[in-house]
Structure 1
Amino acid sequence: MHQSLQDERKLLKLKAEALRLKILSNQMRRQQSQSGSEMLGLLSQLPKAGLVWRLANLPRKTRNKALLGAGLLALLYLRL
């Protein structure tokens, strides 16, 4: 009987350690996801960040046309 109590105690210790590690891993995952969302939050607070991001993701041909158009509009605006 004494041996079974020791075995049960070891088993409970192992279960407690497993639970502690599981909680720790969940906390670390949560911190990583929050830090990632903080970075996205900062980027979304930048003015016109969404427009710049969309422009960067356009195909090269379309992006060049958009940049050329923006440059021409800037020249027209500066001349007036």
Structure 2
Amino acid sequence: MHKSLQQEQQLLQLKAEALRLKLLTNQLRRQQQQSESGLWQMASQLPRAGLVWRLANMPRKLRNKLLLGGALLAVIYLRF
């Protein structure tokens, strides 16, 4: 009977360890997902007005070339 209690105690310890590891992996997954979404949120909040202002103040020839290149890239992207 003494061996049976020891085996049961070891089994419970193994189950507790497995549960602890499962909780830890879930916590790490959650943190990874939050950090990925946090980077996306930061990137989406970058000021776009600065880019528009710089484009508006560029020389006309360069500005037109950049706009035409962007439009061509958009057409190519949407076509495929």
TM-score bin, normalised by smaller chain: 0.5 to 0.7
Structure 1 residues 69, 26: closer, same or farther in 2, change over 3 A? closer
Alignment: residue pair count: 54
Structure 2: give runs of 5+ residues left out of the alignment: 49-64, 71-80
- Give me the TM-score of the superposition, normalised by structure 1: 0.60
Structure 1 residues 37, 2: closer, same or farther in 2, change over 3 A? same
1:45 aligns with 2:45: yes
- Give me the TM-score of the superposition, normalised by structure 2: 0.60
Q: CA RMSD in A?
A: 2.0
What is the identity, as a one-letter code, of the residue corresponding to 1:16? A
What is the identity, as a one-letter code, of the residue corresponding to 2:41? G
Q: Percent same amino acid among aligned pairs? A: 65
Tell me the distance in 1 between the aligned counterparts of 2:68 and 2:30: 43
